[in-house]
Chains A and B, each alone.
Chain A
Amino acid sequence: MLDNFYRYVVLNAGLLGQGLLVTLQVCVQAFVLGVVLAIAVSLLRVTGRIPRAIGTAYVEFFRATPVLVQLLWVNYVWPDLFGFPTTAMGAGVIALALQTSAYLAETIRAGIEGLPRGQLEAGRAVGMSSLQIVRRIVAPQVALVMAPALISQMAVVIKSSTLVSVIAIPDLMYAALKIVNEWFEPIEVLTSTAFLYFLLIFLISLAANRISDRFRARFGLAV
């Protein structure tokens, strides 16, 4: 077994490592784009009636469709419809971002609506503009409240990213499957891959939780 581990995992460490890098690349880009889209959609949802309807439709649609379907849809249909994305990588990032943004938009909206009215009124009472209030008062507090949701969504993105191999993005899962299909020895490779994903998500969650707890402690809030 150690022999197999050495032969299939250690000797292929370069390939797996490269896959891991691609996974990170896809996930980080998808997450950042997802957060930006989520902010935009959540702002739509607290604005007027028509923007709210658009925002709600967006959230409902992307939450109720499977990631795999979205991946294939963005990769094969969007280029014909919209002329982009032009690469599989772009399609993977967009599809994961769409799903992420639909979930996060809900959380952000709840965070905004959960903020005591007085927080905004205190800003208005000293003459701050709406933009200043959003930037200086709303955003930091919503971010703090949302930290746990953001962290678990990051984990979801990483897990969903294992599907991007179906549109030929050479991520960690793709690399692992490639080795398995070449040697028909799944035990060591897939076990190692599972462990790598676990480690990645575990470490990111740990770090993010630490940071969020430190902020909460600094502000004198319950950790």
Chain B
Amino acid sequence: MTDPPATPALSVRNLHKSFGPLEVLRGISLDIAQGAVVTLIGASGSGKSTFLRCLNHLEQPTSGEIYVDGVPITDDIAGLRARLGMVFQQFNLWPHMTVLGNVIEAPLRVKRMPRPEAVALGRRFLAKVNLLDKQDEYPARLSGGQQQRVAIARALAMEPKVMLFDEATSSLDPELTNEVLAVMRDLARDGTTMVVVTHEMAFAREVSDRVVFLHMGQVEEDGPPAQVFGAPVSPRCRQFLSSVRA
């Protein structure tokens, strides 16, 4: 007897999103396997960020279905969000809470975890992003790279099924970018399921299991990095890659 195929961590079926007359996503379907690292690349305006934001309903999809662990998401949006960790380009840490406060806020309020347990959990994830020594600082006193690592710890603290990264390094200087990418590499190595929107082609090539190229709201190319970067089928993908390499 063979095992049934594993349920994907995240399934998206025919996702559409329009802003008024502008159709940004034109029917995207993707299965993200447990533990996979999938990077989304594409020109600006191709719909990468909108797709990511639709996944946790920060943008309401116009139509389409989303399944987390095989369970369809219908009306429990907060529950969906709690199972998808999101890391933003602008970090979006809460400035009036300490680093630890930021990380344990959702476990305390959303999961209603007892404080000592939440603190232990928060410290564990801060250690994971190498910022345990900053737990009592306020965000304004941290560098951009440190703030983004705290934001990653904050998302991890909900122990989500999938981590979503929305251009997590785009507002960082190159040397700070590296410290954030290092944390993301660690997560990938630990088997965290990740969907990463990025302009870091080196990261996409080295770390991801799969690269998806979006063009005008549709999946134009989808495959392992060696194929997408080495021998893309789509001419548009080839064009895009040569423009970012130049």
Residue from the list B58, B105, B141 in contact with A136, Cβ < 8 A:
B105
CA distance A118 to B167 in the complex (A): 14
- Contact residues of A with B, CB < 8 Å? 116, 118-119, 121-122, 124-129, 132, 136-137, 140-141, 144, 218-221
Q: Please tell me if the beta carbons of B95 and A122 are within 8 angstroms of each other in the complex.
A: no
Residues of B within 8 A of A (CB): 56, 58, 78-82, 84-86, 88, 90-96, 105-106, 109-110, 137-141, 151, 154-155, 158
List 13 other contacts, CB 8 Å, given A127-B80, A127-B158: A122-B86, A122-B92, A122-B94, A124-B58, A124-B81, A125-B86, A126-B81, A126-B86, A126-B105, A126-B110, A127-B106, A218-B138, A219-B95
In Å, the complex CA distance between A121 and B56 comes to 11
Query: Please, could you name 18 A-B residue pairs with CB atoms under 8 Å apart, sorted by A?
Result: A118-B90, A119-B92, A119-B94, A122-B93, A122-B94, A122-B154, A125-B84, A125-B88, A127-B80, A127-B81, A127-B158, A136-B105, A144-B96, A218-B138, A219-B138, A220-B137, A220-B139, A220-B140
Chain A residues within an 8 Å CB radius of B93: 122
The A interface, classified by DSSP as helix, strand, loop or mixed, is helix
A140 and B96 contact, Cβ closer than 8 Å, known pairs A125-B56, A126-B82: yes
With a CB–CB cut-off of 8 A, which chain B residues contact A118? 88, 90-92
Evaluate contact between A127 and B78: CB separation under 8 angstroms: yes
Contacts of A220 in B (CB 8 A): 95, 137-141
With the chains together, A116 CA to B93 CA distance in Å? 11
Which A residues touch B84, using CB under 8 A?
125
Least CB distance from A134 to B in Å reads 12
| Cα–Cα distance between A126 and B154 once the two chains are bound (Å) | 9
A122 to B105, CA, bound (A): 11
Residue contact A137 to B94, C-beta cutoff 8 Å: yes
Q: Which residues of A contact B106 (CB under 8 A)?
A: 126-128
Q: Are A121 and B79 in contact (CB under 8 A)?
A: no
A121 with B81: in contact, given A127-B110, A221-B140 (CB under 8 Å)? Answer: no
Residue of B nearest to A218 (CB): B138
Instruction: Choose one: A126, A137, A144, A219; the contact of B158 (CB below 8 Å).
Output: A126
